[in-house]
Each structure stands twice: as C-alpha cells, then as structure tokens.
Amino acid sequence: MGEAERGESAPRVRVPFYCANKHEVVPSFAHEAAVPDEWDCPRCGFPAGKDPQNPPAPPRTEPYKTHLAYVKERRSEEEGRLILDEALAKLRADRAEVRAFMRANAG
Ligand SMILES: [Zn+2]
C-alpha cells in the first residue's frame, strides 16, 4: 500500500521552459506538484518561462553589473585604506626606532 505512489512509478509531468537565450529546459514534476511559472535555466542561469515567444527578461544583467561595480569600488577603497594603514604603521615603527636610537645615545 502506497508503494506505487513513490519513486519512478509516480506519474510525472514534463513541462518545457524557455529562457531569453532560447534554451529549452524540460524539467519533470510530480503529477500532484504545483508547476512554477518560472524555472532557472541550467545553461545560462536566466529565468525561463513557459511561453517560448515571451521568455522572462534576464533580471541579473544590469543589477549584477552595478553590484559588481559597487563591490570593486568598495574593494579598492578598502585596499587603499589597507595600504595607508600599512604605510602609517611603517612610519610609526621608523619613528619609534629613531626615538629608541636617540634615547640609547643620549646618555
Ligand atoms: Zn538559458
């Protein structure tokens, strides 16, 4: 009892989805499962829809670039700060060395 409802013997529906790059992906769903409106294309990562004439627009192109630019900006800012910190640390170390030298030779 219940064996036939599980695994491969369970009825499945295959639903084709199409992405903006004209890729076709045909995932299969359990018969009783809700079929989503969109499916991530495994080839390009774009969302794929059920209408081949009107695939969902790739939403990541623009925001992704902006985000990447933001990350790059942030990183160079952090790198710049790191270099400055390093330079300051070196300067302080040099000064401490000079002070120690002068102190050693003062008396
Ligand atoms: Zn695709």
The predicted-structure confidence for 8-21, as pLDDT tens digits, reads as follows 567 899 999 999 99
In a domain, 2, yes or no: no
Residue range 47-65: mean pLDDT, rounded: 80
Q: Is residue 57 part of a domain?
A: no
Total structural domains within the chain: 2
* Rounded distance from Cα 59 to ligand 1 centre (Å): 13
Task: Show the domain range for 20.
Answer: 10-49
The answer to the question of residue 60 being in a domain is no
Sign for the pseudo-dihedral over CA of 24, 27, 32, 38: negative
Over range 34-61, report the average pLDDT: 90
> Distance, CA 100 to ligand 1 centroid (Å)?
66
- The rounded Å distance from CA 24 to ligand 1 centre is 7
CATH of the domain at 44: 2.20.28
Instruction: Measure 27 CA to ligand 1 centroid, in angstroms.
Output: 13
Burial of 25: CB neighbours in 10 Å, binned 0-12, 13-18, 19+: middle
Please state the rounded mean pLDDT for residues 16-40: 94
Please indicate, yes or no, if residue 34 is contained in any of the structural domains.
yes
Q: What is the mean pLDDT of residues 53-82?
A: 77
How remote is the CA of residue 101 from the centroid of ligand 1, in Å? Answer: 68
The answer to whether position 61 is within a domain reads no
pTM greater than 0.75 (yes/no) = no
